[in-house]
Amino acid sequence: MENKKRKILIIEDEKFLLEIYQSRFEKEGYQVFAAINGLAGLKLAQKEKPDLIILDILMPGMDGYEVIKKLKENNQTKEITILVLSNLGQREEINQGLKLGANDYIIKTDLTPSELVNKVEGMFK
């Protein structure tokens, strides 16, 4: 499937990072939706049904763990691939994200935006 047909939702409360990731994925031809917090992200996920969600954990209001729980409880969103991208890197935090249903968990500082695009493309194969 061509990238432009793929929908990605990025849920990230750091506006600067959100814009960098959004612009990088759009440049690669993805259709990108962006949400600045968990609740807005959850609503967008239900409306747009993206192929993949890139999700931060530490956010005001509803954190990423809660977003994963809610997505997995909903029949319309439970099959969406979730890639956690967080600064939380402790084994327990990573395990919690994966146990709740994330498909992968990456520490933000481990990847550049270009490497993140490559990672996502690998997940689509």
Tell me: the pLDDT tens digits for 16-50? 999 999 999 999 999 999 999 999 999 999 999 99
CB atoms within 10 A of CB 122: 9
CB atoms within 10 A of CB 39: 17
Beta strands (DSSP E) in 65-112 are 81-86, 104-107
- Confidence (pTM): 0.95
Q: What are the residue boundaries of the structural domains of the chain, listed by start?
A: 3-124
Q: Which H/E stretch holds residue 66? A: helix 64-73
Whether residue 80 has pLDDT greater than 60: yes
CATH superfamily, with its number, for domain 3-124: Response regulator (3.40.50.2300)
**What does the mean pLDDT of the chain come to?**
95
Residue at token pair 């939702």: 9
Q: How far apart are CA 123 and CA 104, in angstroms?
A: 9
